[in-house]
């Protein structure tokens, strides 16, 4: 059973600050590829506009229609993923899913903001929204094969 304290931890200041960063759309035009995904559990939607140089993400734009957690996750991805390979971002997404499942995970320094989602472990219905931008980039990588 979750408590009011658990809910307070879920939406701590750091999560809300990251979410604010993706509140206003920042579409990337032109983009090499635009990919949208909707979470079937909660209806959150994220569209990422992607520029890439083969395997490396060079720029991201976004439109996020998600809860605070999905917005925060999208903001982290948009801030950190450019310059990373699709496969490296996939690995970070896997680590995030392990974190949400209760495992102890160490993120590389540039991805440490994702540790803010530790409190979301108790809220399985929110995991889909948190993982959504990573799933969008996985879909993009599949389209590029």
Tell me the pLDDT tens digit for each residue of 10-28. Answer: 667 889 999 999 999 999 9
Question: Residue 6: is its pLDDT beyond 60?
Answer: no
Confidence of residue 76 (pLDDT cuts 50, 70, 90): very high
For position 10, what pLDDT does the model report?
A: 65
Q: Which residues of 132-142 are buried (b: 16+ CB within 10 A; e: fewer)?
A: bbbbbbbebbe
pLDDT score at 56: 98
Give pLDDT, residue 3.
Answer: 65
Tell me how far apart the alpha carbons of residues 82 and 141 are, in angstroms, rounded to a whole number: 14
Please give the pLDDT value at position 96: 98
pLDDT at residue 66 above 60? yes
Instruction: Determine which of 2-6, 63-67, 128-132, 137-141 has the lowest per-residue pLDDT on average.
Output: 2-6
Q: What is the pLDDT of residue 12?
A: 79
- Provide the β-strand partners of residue 65: 45
pLDDT at 119 over 70: yes
* Helix 68-80 × helix 13-21 angle, to 10°: 60
> Among 121, 65, 130, which residue's Cα sits nearest to residue 92?
130
């Amino acid at each position: 059973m979750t408590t009011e304290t658990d809910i307070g931890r879920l939406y701590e200041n750091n999560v809300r600050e990251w979410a604010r960063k993706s509140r206003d759309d920042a579409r990337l035009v032109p983009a090499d590829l635009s990919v949208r995904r909707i979470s079937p559990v909660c209806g959150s939607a994220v569209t990422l506009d992607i520029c890439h140089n083969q395997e490396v993400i060079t720029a991201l734009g976004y439109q996020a229609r998600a809860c605070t957690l999905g917005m925060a996750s999208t903001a982290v991805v948009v801030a950190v993923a450019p310059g990373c390979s699709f496969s490296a971002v996939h690995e970070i997404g896997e680590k995030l899913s392990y974190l949400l499942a209760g495992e102890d995970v160490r993120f590389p320094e540039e991805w440490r903001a994702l540790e803010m989602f530790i409190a979301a472990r108790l809220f399985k219905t929110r995991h889909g929204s948190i993982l959504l931008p990573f799933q969008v980039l996985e879909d993009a990588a599949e389209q590029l094969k």
